Structure 1
């Protein structure tokens, strides 16, 4: 797992595909998810995110689990499979992007990306309002934060909304024109990816 930059001292080496198959057989189980999380094992924590019931997840649980994030894979799996489906997702985005820890802050931006990808029913407003968070975070040079910021920007720009696409392209252009190298990378990469989709 080291070749994927995944820090996981307690790991069995089970493939994610096998975990997803197991999660499908188990179904949603909130109590099991908490028990799995509490083991501290890498695969158990991935599985916890796959089987927990988003309707039963509290803001306190989200904060407690987020405080344990120590690699990008657990961070992204929890945001992609569970946290983005809770009613607390956008409030946690607002909180977490302001935290200092690398995976705490990554969680905020990845959660925003996952909400943009999965919550098709949401209007444009929550995403337009949070473009300022992306601009503010775009100069953080830490690799996992930088990539989370970039993902959030591209995910919002990929929603089926011309207004969002225009707004995201404007943000990306501003970032691409900045002297800060991280902001410039975020802007240029987002412009390249979003223009590729429409080109």
Structure 2
């Protein structure tokens, strides 16, 4: 089989993916709660390497997505053009999410689109488990990707954290917690208000809300987090 390149077609890429899939890796994915019905068993490292080889191609990305193969869909998200990716595109892709792994990978793309804040609001209000997870995965990724975003944006997200902190579904509550912790580690300016919210949640009579809050408080008050924030402040 010829080596993949920027000129490779979606069919050639999919054929290559099928040729390197691993049943052992597929079984290993189960240990992490990843659905393997649509997976070939290819590591994220290899998937990213393939994405670098084939380079960005927006039209081809949609062909890869339509294959339904999880690895092809992840590569599609890495090679699609976020500036051309619309809210409707995101809605269609999110509607097929069925595993936390694909949610977290594709949310990376969604955060780089021009409609990312609109999508967070919309997806948080959506009751489908993996669509709602998408909102909070995007929130967490935006801390990393949206470096120039004002703190006010993230402070506003706290209302969504509080509103959905009672959602006891495993893949939602973990994403809400992830988003809260990530925002609290962005800067000292955010750390204080986020910690206040975490402490409020930790005092809740609701079991899920309390877990989200307590876990966030533990990390946000830990020496590693405080040292990380100090290093960021000193670097400015």
| 1:178 corresponds to | 204
Larger mean CA deviation between 3-12 and 183-192 belongs to 3-12
Equivalent-residue separation in structure 2 for 1:92 and 1:152 (angstroms): 15
Structure 1: unaligned runs, 5 residues or longer: none
Map 1:32-47 → 2, pairs under 5 A: 32-47=60-75
CA contact (8 A) 1:117 1:156 kept: no
Paired residues in the alignment total 197
2:31 is paired with a residue whose SS is helix
CA contact (8 A) 1:36 1:48 kept: yes
One of 169, 184, 191 as aligned partner of 2:217: 191
One of 133, 137, 157 as aligned partner of 2:164: 137
One of 112, 124, 127 as aligned partner of 1:100: 127
CA contact (8 A) 1:11 1:43 kept: yes
**Per-residue deviation at 1:55?**
0.8
| 2:195 corresponds to | 169
Q: TM-score, normalised by structure 2?
A: 0.81
Larger Rg: 2
2:218 is paired with a residue whose SS is helix
**Per-residue deviation at 1:163?**
2.5
**Per-residue deviation at 1:8?**
2.9
Larger mean CA deviation between 10-19 and 87-96 belongs to 10-19
2:133 is paired with a residue whose SS is helix
1:4 is paired with a residue whose SS is coil
Structure 2: unaligned runs, 5 residues or longer: 1-28, 228-236
2:221 is paired with a residue whose SS is helix
One of 177, 183, 201 as aligned partner of 1:156: 183
CA RMSD of aligned residues (A): 1.0
Equivalent-residue separation in structure 2 for 1:118 and 1:185 (angstroms): 27
One of 39, 59, 62 as aligned partner of 1:31: 59
Would you say 1:6 and 2:24 are equivalent positions?
Answer: no
Q: Which portions of structure 1, spanning 4 or more consecutive aligned residues, are displaced by more than 3 angstroms? A: none
**Per-residue deviation at 1:10?**
2.1
Q: Deviations over 1:124-181 (max 9, x none)?
A: 1111111010001111110000011001101111112x22111100000000001111
Structure showing greater relative contact order (alpha-carbon pairs closer than 8 Å, 6 or more residues apart): 1
